[in-house]
Every structure is written in structure tokens, then in C-alpha cells.
Chain A
Amino acid sequence: MSETVTPSEAWLLRQQTAVRATLNRAIALGMANGIMLIAQAWLLAQAINAVALMHQPLHAALPDLLPMPILFLVRFGLVQAQERAAFAAAARVQGELREQLFRRLQALGPLWLAGRASGDLANRLGAGIDALEGYYARWLPHRALSALIPLAILVAVFPADWISGLVLVFTAPLIPLFMMLIGKSAEELNQRQWRVLARMSARFLDTLQGLTTLKLFNASRRETQVVAQISETYRLSTMKVLRVAFLSSVVLEFLSTVSIAVVAVLIGFRLLWHDLPFLPGFFVLFLAPEYYFPLRSLGAHYHARMEAIGAAEGLLEVFEAPLAEAPPPVSTSPLPPAPYRIEFLEVGFSYGPDRQALSGASFALEAGQVTAVVGPSGAGKSTLVNLLLGFGSPSSGRILVNGIDLSRFEPASWLAQIAWIPQRPHLFAGSVLDNVRMARHEASLDEIEAATRAARAHDFICNLPQGLDTVVGERGFGLSGGQIQRLAIARAFLKRAPLVILDEPTAHLDGATQSQVLAAIRELAHGRTLLMITHRVATLSLAQTAVVLEGGRVSEIGTPARLMAADGALARLAAVHPAPVAP
């Protein structure tokens, strides 16, 4: 079929190269089955001819009847083998694409993912890839068979009855023609349907994650209307797609029925007029429905194709998104020996034309020392951390590690030198143990206990229902913010990295725990370069240097004590604990 191929489908077709041999096997098996069917039709026609027309007894028909069960069994085997081969091809493409997609998402990095609906992206990895099965396991083999099997039948029909053969030849192209006409609109509808599904996915996940907040505002019942509205949109869009699919199948069915009727009528009257013997007539009549069957069933698989193309659009969007992160350096520098002195030289970064986050920031993290970065929200503190982690690269200026440009390091080996505690640590589905051990997979239980003790997490872990084996998950259900924070600190202890980055390490902590955690951080800082974002005086006291960041620029640098005394920006930004007693 000479249909115009959309970019999504062209991409789908490119994916089949690796499995073409398997697909061809599936097609060959289907073809063999088609030939067996022709043989079966011939035998049946002969048997009926012998008995009904020639008035012969059963034993005369036995040579035709006895081989039939063998044919049946062979066909039984062929159908199964075809399905297996087709699935094997689809399975391989699916497995590889799912992995590639996940890798691509990883390569796009945290900055690209930030703010994107993870429910929708997760849906592409799951249902999106699942939707491709039909394309490779059904659409592609059947598309080939829909040409090959009718061709084989024509080869059998023409010698038997060329008039019927001509009818078959001239009616067959009508089917793909009509399918193309309908297919155009179906394609658009299907892609829209996929987008509706993606929106629904994202919205439901968002609603469910924020259900407690909705409830606090008595908005959770109102949200019912939103759920109803999304569901209705989805239903209407589904039905639109289905109506077109049904319409296309009714057209196919109508065309094939009319064509079979024409064949039957022509045969019938020529039989009546004695122009045609019964045997070829019945043979052709038996085969006529089988001639259109592959074309008709192609209509059913057309739906699978559409679904795959719709899903492919979402996959392609991820595969084609430009990588914002700097490509790994062509020639990498070996990492210098720890401890690290890290220097920011006139570093600038923007998230977009209107969102300049850092402009010309210069300061240094001295080797083996604690540096605190203080600033109001939006000052560029998190950007600083993102650049240091390599999630983005400076648009101007440079970051030097012991004098070597950060961009010269191989990203993974650079990250291996860093322990990072983000403001809102993520808890992964799994046990507490899994969540701590992710920092160093080969760590022994003793080492893990040492890390959780150092992070002052040991006691609360012991009080959990299954201790270290307690399953936690999404947003740390069951664990408080402070507890999650301490698990993240335990990860940092376990990793033993020479560079430690802490983003508000004592947020969510009460006084007693805070002083414990600060003591822990002091231990952790020993011999390491430590960067922490903070504005707590208690936390500041750990730092040898404080850097004040305002509007993407450094406004003050010095020892915390001196800056606090100078009554400048730091004194303004940092809080004193405890507060002066109310008058």
C-alpha cells in the first residue's frame, strides 16, 4: 500500500530491522497455512463433487477425505508457530525500546524532567511500549499476508475459473482504497486519543498525590467533577476513534460480501447454464471468503497499528528531545586526588530567556573545609548545586576542581565523588534498607548500621514495624520529613565521598535531633569538602566560610562570625535561634 508514512510510523518501521528475520518466519508460516487451506478446499470440493454430483458412495470420496485430518493437524501447528514467531519479534522490539526510552529519560536529566508530569512519562514506558506489540506481532505480519494469501488464492482460482479470478482481482483493490480514505481521519483521531490518555494519566496521578491537601480544603469532593469531566472527555474521544474503526470495518465487510455475492451469482448461473463444472465452481466459492478474509482482518489489525502510531508519537517526543546536558567530554581528565578545592569563576546560567539564575558568580569551596551558601529563595542556590552535579553546564564562566575544568571529567566518575542530600530527598519503593544501601550497594549490614547510627536514624528505624526491612515508598508514606532527611544523611555517610553537598540539612528537624545531626555532619565533614545551603545560625557555625548569594550574584564572602558581626547581608538573612523572647 502506498500510504504516506508519518514520522511516527517511519520510526516504528525502522525499529523492525533487528527482527526482520523473525517477522519473515512468521509471514512464511502464515503463508504455508494459507496454501494448506487451498489444498483443504480442493479436497472438500472433490469429495462433495463425487458424492453430490456423481452419486458415488463414501469409499469413493475417502481418498479426498482421509488426508484432511492430517492437513488440519498441520494447520493447527502452523497457526501456533506463526503466533509465537510474531510475538518473539514484538517482544524483542518492546524490550529494547523500553530500555532505550528509560535511558533516554535518564540522559535528558533531572532538569528536563523537573516539572514534567511523571505519571505521563511513566505511562509511556508502560502502556506506551505495550501498545507497540500489536504493530509488530499483528499489523506487520498480517499486512504482508494480506497481499500474499490472496495472491496464492488467485493462482489457484485462475486455472479453475478465470471469470471469478477476474472478479477477485478487480474487487480486491477497493478494500485498501477505502481503508486509506477512512484511515486518514482515524490516524489523527488516534493520536489525539493518545494525548487525551496521557493527560488523564497525569491528572489522576496529580490528584491522588495531592489528595490529602485537597481534603484539607474540602476540595476532594469537588475534584469528583474534574474526574467526571476527564473521564467523559476520554470516553468521547474513545468513542470517536471506535466509530471510525467500526465504520471502516463495516465498509470492508460490505465490500467483501458484495464481491463474494457477485462471484457466487456468476458461478451459480454458469452452473445452471452448464457453462462451468461443479468442482471448480464449488472450489472457487469456498475460497472466495478466504480471499477477502486477510484483507478484512487487516482492518481489525489496523486498530493495533493506529494505537501503536499514537503511542509512538509520545515515545518519539522523548527520543527527539534535545539533550540539554553537555555531552560527555571527548577526552576526559583523570580525577585529581581528594580533597577537592572547587572554584566557581564568573559562573552564569539561565533556564530560559527570562530566567537568569546565576550571573557571574565567583567563589571557592576550600579543600577540606565547610562552605555555607546563604541566600533568599530564588537567589540561585539550587542552580549552583545542579551545576556542581553536572545536571546543567554553565552558560558562561567555569567551574574548576583542583584547577581542572569540571566539564573535563567523565560524569559518572565525578558523581561518584559526591554525596548529596537534596532538600526533599526521594524515597524509593522498597525497604528502608534498600533506600540506604543504594548509596553503596556492596555495603555490609554493619556498615549500614554505622551509617544510620551516625545519621541519628538508627533509633527510629528500630521502632519501625519491620525495622530495616520496613517497606516505604512514594513521598515516604509513613515516615516524617525529618526521618526521610536522616535516611538521606545516612546515605551520605555510607557513600564516604570526598565532596558532600547538603541542601538545608536541618530543615524538618527538631532541636534535639538537629544538634545530633549537626554533630553527625561535623563528623562527616572531617577531611572532606562540604558545601551546604543553609540560613540557620546553628548550622552556619559549622562553616569556615559563608557565601551570600543574592539575585544570582555573590554579595558577601567571609567567615560567618565576621559577616554576622558586620551586620550585612548574612546577618539579615540568617535567623537567630532561639528567637528573642516576646515582649
Chain B
Amino acid sequence: MKRTSTQPPSAARDLWRLIRLFRPYRAWMAAGGALALATVLANVGLMAVSGWFISAMALAGLAGTTMNYFTPAALIRLFAIVRTGGRYLERLVTHEATFRLLSELRVWFYTRLEPLAPARLQRYRSADMASRIQSDIDSLNHVYLRVIVPIAVAALGTLIILAVMAAFSPAVAATSAMFLGMAGIALPAYLRIRAAGPGEKLVQTRAALRGVAVDGIQGLAELRVYGAVERHSASLRQLSDDHIEAQGGLSKLTGFSQGALGLCANLALWVTMLLAIPRVYAGTLAAPDLALLALFVLASFEAVAPLPQAFQSLGESLSAVRRLFEIIDAEPAILAPPLPSPPLVEPRVSIQGLCFRYGDEGPWVLAGIDLELAAGKRLALVGPTGAGKSTLVQLLLRFWEYPAGKILLGGHDLRAFQPEDLRTHIAVVSQDAYLFNATVRENLLIARPDASDEQLVAACRTAQIHDFVASLPAGYDTELGEGGTRISGGQARRIAIARALLLDAPILILDEPTEGLDPPTARALLDAIHALMQGRSVLLITHRLDVLAALVDEVVVLEAGRIVEWGTVQALASSQGAYRRLQDDLAEG
């Protein structure tokens, strides 16, 4: 049954790309390969010379003559030392080079992945990405250590072995070549085809297993309440069974390849005996050479022994490679401009005729927005869920490219700014700020790694979280737990706000800053936000203006991607327009 279709035709290309990545370490690998070759040849030599030595000694004993046993004894010693030391050094060299490369590849992968966030990574789960950066990169070591080096060693080693063999008997060399070809070429090729399916399945089920496990851990409370624990366990069990089945498929092939390798070697030995015996009888081959040839042929299979297994796991490795290149090759949603950013003299934003939609087919999320945020002004952008508020923020931060319209920052086209610079001009307090499984301090330093303790404390005081942090057993060095779960939602929000305060940018975007905080805390925070707003241009995004109304100069109401109202809070509140409708809905409940 051919399963080649499951492996994309680009597999060979992926393999070449992988080999090219190894360029910085080719000297290391060449040295490792040379050592491996020496080891293999020493081993074959050791066996062959030993066989010859024993027979020659026996024959000499039988004939009652003496013989020169110093030369073979010296050879045996030499081969034994080369074999033992060579293998050790070879492993050290090739593994060192490979793991250095893998360590670099991990960083390389991250630097290629980072520009893709968040736009291009939306369809991937973080657990899946984590599995790529970890296990998939790890599994690349198979390609280097078990495929590339062994192929080179087998190819060279077999040629040398066959040449030596041919000097004794061309016929033996020819049949050995045939059996070596079966074990070293036909068997690996067969396994490669047969293992592609289970190999790919193994990688997939491993990633899926991880996803289901993360879901089952993070969502356990809900699974329990909805009585879905059993069903979730069943799907984990099913995946686990599939995973084990894939492992089993590969294990079966492993057994087959081990058996087949032994069979080839033994048959080669057998045919060698049939060919050599008549020549010994005829006297055209020295009697001790029979034992030499027998052991020589048997030992020569060590040169090709790693290949079947290597090709069997190649499918798995190549699936991993594909998963890596798939991310590497994704185009970032935006391209950084070639020139350095223009200076930002005046923190004002003007938006003209801005349109946006996700994908080329989707509905327009923003359908011609005109907006002016003058320097030092505070503008509230109000609208129902799905009106396009968050999308606008994402465009301002250059997370997505916009197809039509203009955004000017300080009079310059937004596209002229390096995305990195842009984010030093704009601070965001977002409704779903992520807290890392690290200390309070580390979570704050994300915003400004060189911030002093005083600055941290000051920011936390403004965000009204300092007293709480100080009361924790380890203070600022308290671990927050995964997703900040060891503190309450309100406290987490305040730490996130303190983080944004530290960034100290001239333009401030507040994306639902008080959502999830209880009203006294929200009200208490107003003073802090008010202080932060001083001297900054502010865009406040919210669906309920609420107590924040006191902080803004003007309100823009967004509905279905269009601006439907614009004016001061007083003016809008006293009219009968969209703003009033939104607020009334909230009040009556």
C-alpha cells in the first residue's frame, strides 16, 4: 500500500532547506562524519583481522610452524582503540554541533514568529505553537544525527569496504553489494514510504493531545459544572489511543527493519560461504581468508545499520519540519518601512476615509472613518460590540494593514513609522491585558525593562495597587501564577494599568479600562487615569461611557463601522441620537 500521497512533494525541498541551515556547523559535522567513518571501518577491520588471525594461528599450529603474530595483534589493538575512541568523539562532536544549532533555531523560529503576531497567528492555538517551538525543533536532531551523517558515512564506508572485499573476491564483493543495497537502500526506502502515514499521525496526535490536555486543565471547572468531564476524558482517551496506535505502527516497522537487516547480513554471509568455499578447496583463496571474509561481510552491515531506522523516522521529522516552515514562510500582516521613522513632534492622530475588513471577502468592519484626535485632546469612541472600535485600535498599532484610507500620526503617514517606534508613542490599557506567570516586578518591567524601583512603586501607587502588592508576603517579588490567577481580576487589571503607566507614551489608548473593576475602585482609578491623561492625547474606547464621561472632551459614536455621531458629552446626552440610545439601554437594563 503506497502512502506517499500523505507526504507533500515539498518534503525534499524542506530537507534541503534544513541542510542549508546547518551551514555554520558543516566543519563540525564533517569532522563528526570522518570520525564516524573511521569508527565503522575500524570495527569491520577488527572483526576481519580477528577471524583471519584465529584461522592462521590454527593452521600454523596444525602445521607445527610459527607465524608473525605481531602485525595482526598490533592491527587489532589499533582497530580496537580507534573504534572505542572514535565513537565517543564522533558522538560528542555531532551532538554538540546539532544541539547548538537547535538552540539557535529556536531563537530563529521565535524571531520569525514574533512579527506575525497577532494578525497571522489567530488561527493557531498557543499550545500548538509551543509544541512547534519545543518538540518539533527538538525532533530535528533526528534529521542531522540519524539521517544526514549516517547516509554520508554509509555511502563512503560501503565503497571502501567493497573495494577491499573485491581485492579478495570480486564475486563476494558483488553479492555483498547487492545485500548491502537491500539493507541500505531498498529497506530504508520501503520504511520511508510505510512510516510516512504513522509518522505524520504521531506528530498530529501529539499536538492534538497537548491541546486537549490544556483545555481539560484550563477549562476543568466548566467541564465539571456541565458534566462534560467524562466526554472530555473520552476524547483524550481516544486521542491517546490514536497516538499509541501510531507509535505501534512505527514499532512494528522497527521490528521488521531490525529483523530484515539481520536477515540481509546473514544471507550475505551465507552466499559468501557458498562462493568462497569452492575457491578455498581449489586453492585460489587462502584458507584463513575464509574466516576473514565471513566476518568481514557480516561486520560490513554495521555501515548501513542505522539507515532503516533513520528513514523510518524521517516522515515524523519532516512533518515537524513542515510545521516549522509553515510558520516561517507566513507573510507578516504588515511590512516595516525601509526608512527610519519620522520624528513625532505633535501627538495628534487624523484618520481619513479609513476602511478595513478581515480577509478579502469578509464584511467591511470599518467603512470610511474620518476622525481627528488633536494633540492633548481626549476623545471617547463609543459604540456597541462589533462596531469596529477594537479594530481601529489594532490598525493604529499597525497589527493589520488597511486597504483604503489614511491614518496620519503627527502629520506623517502611519505607515512611515517603524512598528516598534510606533508602540513607544502609543500606550494601551487594554481590556484583556495578559499577565505572565512571573513576579509582579517582572510583569511590570515588561513595559520598561530599565525602570527603577521608585518608578515601579510610583506607577503602582497611581494605579492604586501598591498597597496591595506591598502587603503580599514577597512584595514585588510575589509570583502571580499562570495568567495572574493567584490574584483577583480587579488586582490583575490594576497591575496591567500600572504596566501601561510605566510606558509613558504621548498618546494613550484606553480600551475599556474600567471593565471588570467594581465601581468604587473604578471611581478611585479615575483620579489616576486623569493624572495620566495630563499632557497626553487620549483615545478612550468603551461601550459604556459611565463615570469616564467626565474625563473626555468629545465623544464619537461608532456603529457598524461608521461614525454616526460626534459632539461633546452634554450635546449628545441632550439629543435623541445614537449616544442616548446606548446609554439608556444600559440604564434601564
Please give me the 7 A-B residue pairs with the lowest Cβ-Cβ distance, nearest first: A538-B589, A115-B481, A377-B490, A83-B255, A510-B543, A575-B519, A426-B219
| A106 x B424 contact (CB < 8 A) | no
Is B25 positioned at the interface, with any CB of A under 8 Å from its CB? no
| B251 x A573 contact (CB < 8 A) | no
Q: What residues of chain B lie closer than 8 Å to A231, measured between beta carbons?
A: 102-104, 106-107
Q: What residues of chain A lie closer than 8 Å to B241, measured between beta carbons?
A: 95
A403-442 Cβ-contact flags toward B at 8 Å (1 or 0): 0000000001001101110111110110000000011110
Q: What residues of chain A lie closer than 8 Å to B488, measured between beta carbons?
A: 377-378, 382
B283-308 Cβ-contact flags toward A at 8 Å (1 or 0): 00001101100110000000000000
| B219 x A428 contact (CB < 8 A) | yes
Is A574 positioned at the interface, with any CB of B under 8 Å from its CB? yes
| B546 x A106 contact (CB < 8 A) | no
Q: A69-B267, A214-B446, A577-B583 are in contact. Are A201 and B222 (CB under 8 A)?
A: no
Task: Name 29 A/B residue pairs within 8 A (Cβ), A-sorted.
Answer: A40-B266, A57-B281, A75-B262, A79-B255, A87-B252, A95-B241, A98-B237, A99-B240, A102-B213, A113-B220, A118-B213, A118-B214, A122-B127, A130-B247, A204-B133, A206-B438, A212-B118, A228-B107, A231-B104, A239-B95, A264-B76, A272-B58, A278-B58, A377-B488, A377-B490, A428-B219, A438-B222, A511-B584, A538-B588
| A137 x B547 contact (CB < 8 A) | no
Taking CB atoms and an 8 Å cut-off, the chain B residues in 45-92 that contact chain A are: 46-47, 50-51, 53-55, 57-62, 64, 66-67, 69, 73, 76-77, 80, 83-85, 87-88, 91-92
Q: What residues of chain A lie closer than 8 Å to B520, measured between beta carbons?
A: 376, 572-573
| B225 x A415 contact (CB < 8 A) | yes
Q: What residues of chain B lie closer than 8 Å to A94, measured between beta carbons?
A: 240, 244
Stretch at the interface among B313-321, B345-353, B384-392, B406-414: B384-392
Bound Cα distance A230, B69 (Å)? 56
Is B2 positioned at the interface, with any CB of A under 8 Å from its CB? no
Is A13 positioned at the interface, with any CB of B under 8 Å from its CB? no
Q: In the complex, how many angstroms separate the beta carbon of B407 from the nearest chain A beta carbon?
A: 18
| A235 x B102 contact (CB < 8 A) | yes
Bound Cα distance A75, B291 (Å)? 23
Residue from B57, B214, B231, B570 within 8 A of A272 (CB atoms): B57
| B543 x A511 contact (CB < 8 A) | yes
Stretch at the interface among A165-173, A328-336, A471-479: A471-479
Q: A285-B50, A491-B226 are in contact. Are A581 and B573 (CB under 8 A)?
A: yes
| B214 x A474 contact (CB < 8 A) | yes
Q: A122-B210, A474-B214 are in contact. Are A415 and B227 (CB under 8 A)?
A: yes
Q: In the complex, how many angstroms separate the beta carbon of A366 from the nearest chain B beta carbon?
A: 21
- Interface size bracket, B side: 35 or more
| B270 x A579 contact (CB < 8 A) | no
Stretch at the interface among A185-193, A253-261, A308-316: A253-261
| A217 x B266 contact (CB < 8 A) | no
Q: Which residue of A lies closest to B90 (CB)?
A: A246
Is B491 positioned at the interface, with any CB of A under 8 Å from its CB? yes
| B294 x A495 contact (CB < 8 A) | no
| B127 x A80 contact (CB < 8 A) | no
B207-221 Cβ-contact flags toward A at 8 Å (1 or 0): 001111111111111
Bound Cα distance A412, B224 (Å)? 8
Q: What residues of chain A lie closer than 8 Å to B122, measured between beta carbons?
A: 477-478
Is B20 positioned at the interface, with any CB of A under 8 Å from its CB? no
Bound Cα distance A544, B254 (Å)? 69
| A579 x B545 contact (CB < 8 A) | yes
| B582 x A423 contact (CB < 8 A) | no
| A211 x B437 contact (CB < 8 A) | no
Q: Which residue of B lies closest to A491 (CB)?
A: B226
Q: What residues of chain A lie closer than 8 Å to B512, measured between beta carbons?
A: 508
Q: Which residue of A lies closest to B107 (CB)?
A: A228
| B240 x A122 contact (CB < 8 A) | no
Is A72 positioned at the interface, with any CB of B under 8 Å from its CB? yes
Q: Which residue of B lies closest to A230 (CB)?
A: B106
Q: What residues of chain B lie closer than 8 Å to A537, measured between beta carbons?
A: 589
| A438 x B118 contact (CB < 8 A) | no
A139-175 Cβ-contact flags toward B at 8 Å (1 or 0): 0000000000000000000000000000000000000
| B433 x A213 contact (CB < 8 A) | yes
B536-551 Cβ-contact flags toward A at 8 Å (1 or 0): 0000000111111111
Bound Cα distance A257, B275 (Å)? 30
Q: In the complex, how many angstroms separate the beta carbon of A469 from the nearest chain B beta carbon?
A: 15
Bound Cα distance A354, B472 (Å)? 9
Is A243 positioned at the interface, with any CB of B under 8 Å from its CB? yes
Q: In the complex, how many angstroms separate the beta carbon of B5 from the nearest chain A beta carbon?
A: 25
How many chain A residues touch B (CB < 8 A): the figure is 186
Total A-B contacts with CB atoms under 8 angstroms apart:
510
Q: A53-B58, A53-B287, A375-B518 are in contact. Are A429 and B215 (CB under 8 A)?
A: yes
Q: What residues of chain B lie closer than 8 Å to A87, measured between beta carbons?
A: 247-248, 251-252
Q: Which residue of A lies closest to B491 (CB)?
A: A377
| B118 x A201 contact (CB < 8 A) | no
| A420 x B222 contact (CB < 8 A) | yes
| A76 x B260 contact (CB < 8 A) | yes
Q: Which residue of B lies closest to A582 (CB)?
A: B550
| A473 x B206 contact (CB < 8 A) | no
| B244 x A261 contact (CB < 8 A) | no
Residue from A102, A242, A377, A495 within 8 A of B489 (CB atoms): A377
Q: What residues of chain B lie closer than 8 Å to A56, measured between beta carbons?
A: 281
- Tell me which of A264, A268, A269 has the highest count of chain B C-beta atoms within 10 A of its own C-beta: A268
| B570 x A515 contact (CB < 8 A) | no
Q: Which residue of B lies closest to A380 (CB)?
A: B488
Q: What residues of chain B lie closer than 8 Å to A440, measured between beta carbons?
A: 226
Bound Cα distance A423, B484 (Å)? 14
Q: What residues of chain B lie closer than 8 Å to A483, measured between beta carbons?
A: 385
Is B146 positioned at the interface, with any CB of A under 8 Å from its CB? no
| B516 x A504 contact (CB < 8 A) | yes
Is A371 positioned at the interface, with any CB of B under 8 Å from its CB? no
A207-231 Cβ-contact flags toward B at 8 Å (1 or 0): 1111111111111111110011001
| B518 x A377 contact (CB < 8 A) | yes
| A515 x B585 contact (CB < 8 A) | yes
Q: What residues of chain A lie closer than 8 Å to B481, measured between beta carbons?
A: 114-116
- Tell me which of B51, B435, B585 has the highest count of chain A C-beta atoms within 10 A of its own C-beta: B585
Q: Which residue of B lies closest to A112 (CB)?
A: B220
| A272 x B127 contact (CB < 8 A) | no
Is B6 positioned at the interface, with any CB of A under 8 Å from its CB? no
| B519 x A573 contact (CB < 8 A) | yes
Is A539 positioned at the interface, with any CB of B under 8 Å from its CB? yes
Taking CB atoms and an 8 Å cut-off, the chain A residues in 61-106 that contact chain B are: 61, 65, 68-69, 72-73, 75-84, 87-88, 91, 94-95, 98-99, 102-103, 105-106
| A114 x B485 contact (CB < 8 A) | yes
Bound Cα distance A428, B489 (Å)? 21
A53-B287, A204-B133, A418-B225 known, 17 other contacts, Cβ within 8 Å? A57-B278, A61-B273, A118-B217, A126-B213, A201-B134, A250-B88, A272-B69, A282-B54, A282-B55, A376-B518, A378-B468, A481-B432, A482-B385, A512-B384, A538-B589, A577-B589, A582-B549
Bound Cα distance A264, B54 (Å)? 7
Q: What residues of chain B lie closer than 8 Å to A558, measured between beta carbons?
A: none
Bound Cα distance A123, B260 (Å)? 35
Q: What residues of chain B lie closer than 8 Å to A88, measured between beta carbons?
A: 248
Residue from A73, A235, A441 within 8 A of B100 (CB atoms): A235
Residue from A73, A75, A102, A376 within 8 A of B236 (CB atoms): A102
Q: A208-B130, A515-B585, A574-B519 are in contact. Are A254 and B84 (CB under 8 A)?
A: yes
Is B129 positioned at the interface, with any CB of A under 8 Å from its CB? yes
Q: A83-B251, A217-B503, A474-B126 are in contact. Are A246 and B220 (CB under 8 A)?
A: no
Residue from A57, A105, A253, A539 within 8 A of B216 (CB atoms): A105
Residue from B103, B259, B546 within 8 A of A232 (CB atoms): B103
- Tell me which of A65, A282, A574 has the highest count of chain B C-beta atoms within 10 A of its own C-beta: A282
| A119 x B130 contact (CB < 8 A) | yes
| A65 x B255 contact (CB < 8 A) | no
| A269 x B57 contact (CB < 8 A) | yes
Q: In the complex, how many angstroms separate the beta carbon of A276 from the nearest chain B beta carbon?
A: 8
| A253 x B84 contact (CB < 8 A) | yes
